[in-house]
Amino acid sequence: MTTDPNPTDDREARSDEQRDDAAGTASATEDGAAEERRTDEGSTDDGPEIVDGRTVEHLITDHERDIAATAEGTDATAARRPNLDLPRLELGRRDFMKAGAAVGAMTGLAGCTSVLSDEGNGGGGSSGASGEHSVAPGEHDEYYGFLSGGHTGEIRVVGIPSMRELMRIPVFQAESARGFGHDAKSSEILEEGGGYTWGDTHHPRVSQTDNDYDGRWLFVNDKANGRMARVDLEYFETDAITNVPNSQAVHGACMQLPDTQLVFGVGEFRVPMPNDGRDVDDPDAYGSVLTAIDPETMDVEWQVEVDGNMDNGDGGKEGRWFFATGYNSEEGVTQGEMTRSDRDYVKAFDIPAIWDAVEAGNYEEISGVPVVDGTMDSSLNEGDRPVVRYVPTPKSPHGVSVTPDGNYAIASGKLDPTCTVIGVDEIAEVDDPADAILGQPRVGMGPLHTAYDDRGHAYTTLFIDSQVVKWDYEAAVEAEAGSEEPIVEKHDVHYNPGHLIASESYTASPQGDYLVSLNKLSKDRFLPVGPIHPENDQMFYIGDDDAGMELVKDKPSYPEPHDASIVHRDKIEPAKTWDPDDYDLDFVPEGEESFERVDDSTVEIEMWARRNEYAFPEVTVREGDEVTIRISNVETTSDVIHSIAIPEYDINLALAPQDTREVTFTADEPGVYWAYCAYFCSALHLEMRSRILVEPRDG
């Protein structure tokens, strides 16, 4: 992208041009486009219209230009909306919110940005309306927010509503503060997970029982290296990584509900199966799979191959259906090829039917996994109990999420300004899957993801419009396709949101109070920190339908959260110290430390740590020895954490109270090495050291 030297002029020119466009083509698009969306007819070859006579190419060009313009501190997003000549409203925040709610889809929003950026940017939540959503020093938040860390490979834990970051959980990457990838157990998890040094986490989902959070596990995907991981929510620690075969880019991640019977990874990039050098330049032979994993063992149970790319997924509440969006039904390999058709699909997987196919042996084993053929032409999709039903939607739907009542799966249009409301019960009943589409409201430009409150509202991010739109999903079922009537309210976000998440939105009983919009761009919202900007997670209070959505907080975020889950604190029970019975290594109590030379080149050390010493103030080994250290933190007091950092050997084991860790290294460099405690644990923390003497072998 090149920087636009004169964004303001350009913006004005473009908005004129757009008004012309809209006026010139309104009659040609309105009814016809909406009607056509419900049908499953062929595609047009030359850039189908999306809205107001504009094609995908127009949208993308507009968006690129928006980004260039806002980079210079102007609000080009507002410029694209009608009535941009309105004077900037000088309203207080409360007044504005009331006014905003009253005018619905809202012409006055051009003023919103400046009002909020003046007053709302402090982020402390300590003034005015946001005061009631702040959390005083020493008080606890009501919710845990689990945010994915994108290509840092981690999970971040924040308190909501304070948005204070509480912890980070390394998942796909070694991380020294928590010793992940430094001790034997976590190193083995990373190694067995493929040995990569990073991952790309997008979709953290907390396990459920009876469609409510049970606080046991969190599952998350690795889009980069095609993996799924499990985090133990007693210890807030990653305890398993599954390297998924036959799949590159496991993107969507979710569970079979109501009881987390299976964990699903949604395969995105199409590749040969197995990807071992065959068919490298034969894209027709590539495939993409849905992967079902046992949550206890984390073993892959089966996969289902489908046509086209998949993208995001969500499970129905009743255990039968799993929904995945997809793009590239064309099965192209270039961007042009992938966006040629004006139609893609939501795939509805019939889980019991798939199990039946597996049990009947109707699969091909590829890379050791039963792969069921769920492509359109598969014999398993003939008859009245197909394994996968293909629901036609406008081009490239992105997010999909099932409403709390389990009645609808709502797919967000991305390159189309609508959301598609699919009836979950209808899926099983209709002859033509297109007939399961019950509503298709026009929500705005670039709808990506949808979350829910407890009052029948859907909240959808509009990536291109930089807004969150609140709409009524039952009203959308009542309304004509393409109607804007179901829209209750739109609110600006800053800027370009990806996911959004409302408290407990993925359960059958959302809390309906807080919503976090995970915005990709922060632009000028924070102190500049160089050319890589933080992202901006914005929290709204959504509990008052009369007052409307209230922006409460901005939180800069290290790149880059995608999705999140918000769980009430009563549903998570973290351990305060380790229970040695939960650990597969023997605890080393005080008095039972030992140093054993097993043979000429092997040393085994069992030791403990406590304030302010290690069991051995010094340890002598010989050059070339393979040294195994097993070490327990014998403290019983919570929050007295030690570590053992071993310089030159690239090791730092974190030791929570009652925890035991083990590490093996080869002492190949003669010399003196001060092992030390890296957690500041007490007044004599600096003195908490042990001298490791590595004697020269021939000395």
* Nearer to ligand CUA (CB atom), residue 351 or residue 688: 688
Q: How many of the other CB atoms lie within 10 Å of CB of 43? A: 12
* Nearer to ligand CUA (CB atom), residue 444 or residue 657: 657
Measure the CA angle with vertex 659, ends 243 and 222; round to 5°. Answer: 20
At residue 187, what is the residue type? S
* Nearer to ligand K7E (CB atom), residue 420 or residue 658: 420
Q: Give the C-alpha separation, 538 to 523, whole Å.
A: 14
- Any contact of residue 608 with ligand CUA (CB under 6 A)? no
Q: Give the C-alpha separation, 329 to 396, whole Å.
A: 9
Query: Residue 312 binds which one of ligand CUA, ligand K7E, none, with CB within 5 to 8 A depending on kind?
Result: ligand K7E
- Where b means 16+ CB within 10 Å and e means fewer, 375-385 reads beebebbeeee
* Nearer to ligand K7E (CB atom), residue 246 or residue 461: 461
In the complex, the smallest distance separating the C-beta of residue 190 from ligand K7E, rounded to whole angstroms, is: 22
Instruction: From residue 612, give the alpha-carbon distance in Å to each of 165, 577, 581, 617.
Output: 29, 19, 25, 11
Among 55, 259, 685, 693, which residue sits at the site for ligand CUA (rule: CB under 6 A)? Answer: 685
- Any contact of residue 631 with ligand CUA (CB under 6 A)? no
- Where b means 16+ CB within 10 Å and e means fewer, 411-448 reads bbbbbbbbbbbbbbebbeeeeebbebbbbbbbbbbbbb
Give 201's DSSP letter: B
In the complex, the smallest distance separating the C-beta of residue 418 from ligand K7E, rounded to whole angstroms, is: 17
Query: Residue 642 binds which one of ligand K7E, ligand CUA, none, with CB within 5 to 8 A depending on kind?
Result: ligand CUA
* Nearer to ligand K7E (CB atom), residue 401 or residue 690: 401
DSSP string covering 66-132? HHHHHHTT--HHHHHSS-TTSPPP---HHHHHHHHHHTTT-SGGGGHHHHHHHHGGG-S--SGGGGG
* Nearer to ligand K7E (CB atom), residue 200 or residue 625: 200
* Nearer to ligand CUA (CB atom), residue 179 or residue 444: 179
Q: Which residue has the tokens 């997008």?
A: 202
* Site stretch for ligand CUA (CB under 6 A), options 206-214, 517-525, 624-632, 681-689: 681-689
Residues 255/212, Cβ–Cβ less than 8 Å: no
Query: Residue 203 binds which one of ligand K7E, ligand CUA, none, with CB within 5 to 8 A depending on kind?
Result: ligand K7E
Query: Residue 685 binds which one of ligand K7E, ligand CUA, none, with CB within 5 to 8 A depending on kind?
Result: ligand CUA
In the complex, the smallest distance separating the C-beta of residue 566 from ligand K7E, rounded to whole angstroms, is: 15
* Nearer to ligand CUA (CB atom), residue 178 or residue 320: 178
Among 298, 358, 688, 692, which residue sits at the site for ligand CUA (rule: CB under 6 A)? Answer: 688
Encoding tokens for residue 624? 């070339």
Q: Give the C-alpha separation, 112 to 495, whole Å.
A: 13
* Nearer to ligand CUA (CB atom), residue 58 or residue 685: 685
Query: Residue 674 binds which one of ligand CUA, ligand K7E, none, with CB within 5 to 8 A depending on kind?
Result: none
Query: Residue 677 binds which one of ligand CUA, ligand K7E, none, with CB within 5 to 8 A depending on kind?
Result: ligand CUA
* Prior bond of 274 cis (ω within 30°): yes
Q: Give the C-alpha separation, 559 to 152, whole Å.
A: 7
Query: What HEC string does 147-159 produce?
Result: EECECCCEEEEEE
Query: Residue 563 binds which one of ligand CUA, ligand K7E, none, with CB within 5 to 8 A depending on kind?
Result: ligand K7E
* Nearer to ligand K7E (CB atom), residue 128 or residue 559: 559
Q: Give the C-alpha separation, 434 to 427, whole Å.
A: 9
Closest-CB residue for ligand K7E? 498
End-to-end Cα distance, the chain: 62
* Site stretch for ligand CUA (CB under 6 A), options 216-224, 342-350, 534-542, 679-687: 679-687
Q: How many of the other CB atoms lie within 10 Å of CB of 54? A: 20
In the complex, the smallest distance separating the C-beta of residue 150 from ligand K7E, rounded to whole angstroms, is: 8
> Computed from CA positions of residues 540, 543, 546, 547, in that sequence, does the dihedral angle turn out positive or negative?
negative
Q: How many of the other CB atoms lie within 10 Å of CB of 604? A: 16
* Site stretch for ligand CUA (CB under 6 A), options 303-311, 384-392, 437-445, 680-688: 680-688
Query: Residue 147 binds which one of ligand K7E, ligand CUA, none, with CB within 5 to 8 A depending on kind?
Result: none
* Nearer to ligand K7E (CB atom), residue 240 or residue 253: 253
In the complex, the smallest distance separating the C-beta of residue 196 from ligand K7E, rounded to whole angstroms, is: 18
Q: How many CA atoms lie within 13 A of 570 on its CB side?
A: 3
In the complex, the smallest distance separating the C-beta of residue 287 from ligand K7E, rounded to whole angstroms, is: 20
Q: Give the C-alpha separation, 231 to 153, whole Å.
A: 13
- Residue 120 burial by Cβ neighbours in a 10 Å radius (0-12, 13-18, 19+): buried
Query: Residue 688 binds which one of ligand K7E, ligand CUA, none, with CB within 5 to 8 A depending on kind?
Result: ligand CUA
Query: Residue 499 binds which one of ligand CUA, ligand K7E, none, with CB within 5 to 8 A depending on kind?
Result: ligand K7E
* Nearer to ligand CUA (CB atom), residue 572 or residue 688: 688
Among 35, 192, 336, 680, which residue sits at the site for ligand CUA (rule: CB under 6 A)? Answer: 680
Residues 244/165, Cβ–Cβ less than 8 Å: no
In the complex, the smallest distance separating the C-beta of residue 133 from ligand CUA, rounded to whole angstroms, is: 37
* Nearer to ligand K7E (CB atom), residue 311 or residue 489: 311
- Any contact of residue 679 with ligand CUA (CB under 6 A)? yes
- Residue 23 burial by Cβ neighbours in a 10 Å radius (0-12, 13-18, 19+): exposed
Q: Give the C-alpha separation, 120 to 114, whole Å.
A: 10
- Any contact of residue 372 with ligand CUA (CB under 6 A)? no
Query: Residue 494 binds which one of ligand CUA, ligand K7E, none, with CB within 5 to 8 A depending on kind?
Result: none
In the complex, the smallest distance separating the C-beta of residue 139 from ligand CUA, rounded to whole angstroms, is: 28
Interface with ligand CUA: number of residues (CB under 6 A) = 7
* Nearer to ligand K7E (CB atom), residue 155 or residue 369: 155
Q: Give the C-alpha separation, 510 to 512, whole Å.
A: 6
- Any contact of residue 634 with ligand CUA (CB under 6 A)? no
DSSP string covering 207-239? EEETTEEEEEEEEEEETTTTEEEEEETTTTEEE
Query: Residue 143 binds which one of ligand K7E, ligand CUA, none, with CB within 5 to 8 A depending on kind?
Result: none
Query: Residue 498 binds which one of ligand CUA, ligand K7E, none, with CB within 5 to 8 A depending on kind?
Result: ligand K7E
Return residues touching ligand K7E (CB under 6 A).
202-203, 251, 312, 398-399, 448-449, 498-499, 562-563
Nearest to 679 by CA among 651, 641, 646, 637: 641
* Nearer to ligand CUA (CB atom), residue 189 or residue 681: 681
Using DSSP's 3-state secondary structure scheme, residue 570 falls into helix
Site for ligand CUA in 637-676 (CB under 6 A): 642
Query: Residue 216 binds which one of ligand K7E, ligand CUA, none, with CB within 5 to 8 A depending on kind?
Result: none
* Nearer to ligand K7E (CB atom), residue 225 or residue 378: 225
At residue 374, what is the residue type? G
At residue 207, what is the residue type? S
Residues that bind ligand CUA (CB under 6 A): 642, 677, 679-681, 685, 688
